[in-house]
Amino acid sequence: GNERRFFLKDETETEALGQELARVVVASERGVTLFLDGDLGMGKTTMSRGLMRGLGHEGAVKSPTYTLVEPYEDLAMPAYHFDLYRLGDPEELEYMGIRDYFSADTVCLIEWPERGQGLLPDPDIEIHFEREGDGRSVVLRAGTEEGAALLNSLEL
């Protein structure tokens, strides 16, 4: 289907969904662009951490707020974690050569994608986070056929 919705009761479940996304992406053997949107503290970085762990990263994963992008290059697939919260001028994205990051075999996760509007590719999957009670409600929407195939492959 084109959309999946999950209730994630705690941080562990948010990480687990990120890990499961990593699993289906690696199995697909293709790069992917994921947008993560929702207010501060909703779990975007937590899910990104699960994803990086799922790609084989063992260290910390922090939001690259000041550097805008953190590379994770020696994994199952090269991955780039963007956080555009502090992006001033979208032209900064041009200066950093943003287009070069989105290739057929890279995993790109983007927090606050709305701040880079017009300079980012269309996402394969857009992940929207909202608070629900003590947990989070998360909607995954496919934007491409590849994204839809990935959502269909999720075993959660």
Q: How far is the CB of 104 from ligand ADP (least distance, A)?
A: 27
* CA distances to 12, 66, 127 from 122, in Å: 29, 24, 13
Work out whether 115 is an interface residue with Mg ion (CB under 5 A). no
Work out whether 42 is an interface residue with ligand ADP (CB under 6 A). yes
Selected from 45, 79, 106, 108, the binder of ligand ADP by CB under 6 A is 45
Instruction: Find where tokens 């269309």 sit.
Output: 122
Q: Strands of 69-72's sheet, edge to edge? A: 3-8, 135-142, 125-132, 32-37, 107-111, 79-83, 69-72
Instruction: Find where tokens 């779990």 sit.
Output: 43
Task: Give 3-state DSSP helix, strand, coil % of the chain, rounded to 5.
Answer: 35, 25, 40
Q: Which is nearer to ligand ADP, 30 or 128 (CB)?
A: 128
Q: How far is the CB of 39 from Mg ion (least distance, A)?
A: 10
Work out whether 45 is an interface residue with Mg ion (CB under 5 A). yes
How many positions of this chain bind ligand ADP (CB under 6 A)? 19
Work out whether 136 is an interface residue with Mg ion (CB under 5 A). no
Work out whether 14 is an interface residue with ligand ADP (CB under 6 A). yes
Selected from 41, 71, 105, 114, the binder of ligand ADP by CB under 6 A is 41
Q: CA end-to-end span of the chain, whole Å?
A: 14
Work out whether 19 is an interface residue with Mg ion (CB under 5 A). no
- 135 contact choice in Mg ion, ligand ADP, none (CB below 5 to 8 Å, kind-dependent): ligand ADP
Q: Which is nearer to Mg ion, 11 or 146 (CB)?
A: 11
Query: How many residues would you count in the chain?
Result: 156
Task: Provide the 10 A C-beta neighbour count for residue 120.
Answer: 22
